[in-house]
A = this chain, B = another copy of it.
Amino acid sequence: MTTKMTKRQFLQSIGAAAGVAAVYRSMNALGLVGANTAQAATLDLSPGSGGGKSVVILGAGISGLVAAYELSKADYDCTILEATNRAGGRNLTARGGDIIREEDSRQWVGFDPEEHLYANLGPARLPHHHTTILGYCKEFGVDLEVFTNDNRAAFFHNLEGFDGKPVVARQVMTDTRGYLAELLAKAVHRTALDDVLAGEDKERLLDLLRSYGDLDVADDLYTGSDRGGYQGEQVHAGLAPGEVNDPLDFSQLLSSDFWEYKLHFSQFLDQNPTLLQPVGGMDAIVDAFEERLEHLTRYRSIVKEIRKTADGVRIVYRRRRRRGLSILDADFAICTIPAPVLKDISNDFSADTQAAIESIEFSNAVKIGFQARRRFWEEDHGIYGVISWTDQDITQIWYPPYGYQRAKGIIMGAYIWDDEPGLRYAAMSPAERLQTAIAEGEALHPGYEAEIEAGVSRAWAKVRFQRGGWPTSYQAPARLREPDGAIYFAGDQLSALPGWQEGAALAAHAAVRAINERVTATA
């Protein structure tokens, strides 16, 4: 029993014979379920509380996987129906040899077969406060490493400002702080704020500003700082300090769009350091769930109808390579199908449920991964990890926050979420997308095209069973937090964390908890 297939087959045989709670206990005995659950990831439903009640889960994305995992542990009889041939949903990691399908295209991924040559085309970050999804990582023993998000060596680029030349982040940040501190110090000296600065606060504020902005001691002016780096190829002081960089022009800093959010991106709660990622690709999380739930999953099973029955739900679905339609009856359903897909599936939903589903709009997120023949961002610019910014459609370039100093690397040549540029890229053929993204990238990295040897794109709006990246609103419709008959709703679309796996997991927990309360109340 040393190979994965053997273990899997073993678990499937138990599942068939004795139900999923038995499988879970067996996995526990096999050491597949981590012992350390100090971080509250699971719901801790009472063992056996499901009493064999059946739940059909629509969609094997993170929300569906979490729901099935938790319900199975509590002795619910779960079946997952998944339209595609894989679990994970938008959690998708592309590697050499993969086929990436959209409605009207198929891309073969031409990356080299190396461990560090992959692209997370869906979620890529795990914020440190997303304790639910991090808790599953811990429970399953998914190794984590840091996702860099604030990289002072990366570039800010604006077609209009600074002659269209990329500017190093450390200079933008240092100089903006310096100028703000200088202006505020000036206002304080001019006694413009005396009425709102009590007693000693005035002197203390000046001390803070001198330190915050690195102002000149003599006159509280900002004239540049070694925090912005030294002139020449060598950024640091070296053997004997040289000249620090001249400060950027304040008017140009103001008229660039850097300040819009790029300047303080890591101030956003979800982008706060520390961010983490699974070693080897985000789909390590999917793999961990799938290993535990594969025996419950029917792949290539496309839901055609969602019906309420007298004592539960009926799902009509089409299974690939089977003639006609299949039917699955269950006591409950948890529907994680993305709203843009769900709204077109035949159903018995109440009018307000259907309206709520139709009210959810999804973003046109696009990601493009390129394999570069050398890690020019590290070698030439000392850029280790994410992000450079531009006001072109590609929005961002991500340098891989893994595989540092290896021979090649996968950069994210575009990460688009705004509607219009997203639509523009979605409308292109895969080949056009790569070409266009390379042309835009040239503005940040002259000679870019010559460094690229393979590419793959993902326009989530054009993915058959997704039709978008994530809900554009942070307010999920309240109606969908309640079941419609025996049908419960989940997915990140039900949370205030759209596009985050944490939101998907929390929505799954909410649905599971609601079902379990109903079952245990009537038991």
Q: Which residues of A contact B (CB under 8 A)?
A: 36, 38-39, 127-131, 134, 137-138, 143-146, 148, 150-153, 170, 173-174, 176-177, 180-181, 183-184, 186-187, 190, 192-193, 196-198, 200-201, 204-205, 207-209, 211-212, 214, 226-229, 234-241, 250-251, 254-255, 259-261, 263-264, 266-270, 272-274, 276, 374, 378-379, 382-385, 401, 404-405, 407, 474, 476, 481, 494-497, 502-503, 506-507, 510
Contact = CB atoms under 8 A, between A and B. Distances in A.
A252 B438 CA distance: 50
A254 B184 contact: no
A273 B146 CA distance: 12
A180 B183 contact: no
Contacts of A146: 145-146, 148, 384-385, 401
20 contacts: A145-B404, A146-B146, A146-B148, A146-B384, A180-B212, A184-B187, A186-B196, A190-B192, A198-B251, A208-B254, A211-B263, A212-B263, A227-B269, A229-B269, A237-B474, A239-B510, A273-B273, A274-B383, A274-B385, A276-B404
A212 B260 CA distance: 8
Contacts of A250: 201
A201 B183 CA distance: 12
A404 B496 contact: no
Contacts of A181: 180
A239 B173 contact: no
Contact of A129 (B198, B236, B254): B236
A176 B267 CA distance: 12
Contacts of A401: 146
Contacts of A170: 269, 272
B153 A150 contact: no
Nearest to A208: B259
A129 B134 CA distance: 31
A382 B270 CA distance: 13
B273 A129 contact: no
Contact of A150 (B134, B150, B205, B254): B150
A249 B173 CA distance: 25
Contacts of A507: 239
A270 to B, nearest CB: 7
Contact of A204 (B197, B255, B267, B494): B255
Contacts of A131: 234, 382
A239 B494 contact: yes
Contacts of A39: 378-379, 405
Nearest to A179: B205
B264 A211 contact: yes
Given A39-B379, A180-B184, A235 B138 contact: no
Nearest to A35: B407
A212 B264 contact: yes
A260 B211 contact: yes
Contacts of A269: 170, 226-229, 235-237
The 9 residue pairs across chains A and B that have the minimum distance between CB atoms? A192-B192, A187-B187, A129-B235, A237-B496, A146-B146, A208-B259, A204-B254, A274-B384, A152-B272
A38 B130 CA distance: 39
B474 A241 contact: yes
A236 B130 contact: yes
Given A144-B405, A145-B146, A205-B254, A239 B495 contact: yes
Nearest to A202: B254
Contact of A153 (B128, B173, B405): B128
Given A129-B235, A183-B184, A235-B269, A151 B208 contact: no
A385 B272 CA distance: 13
A172 to B, nearest CB: 12
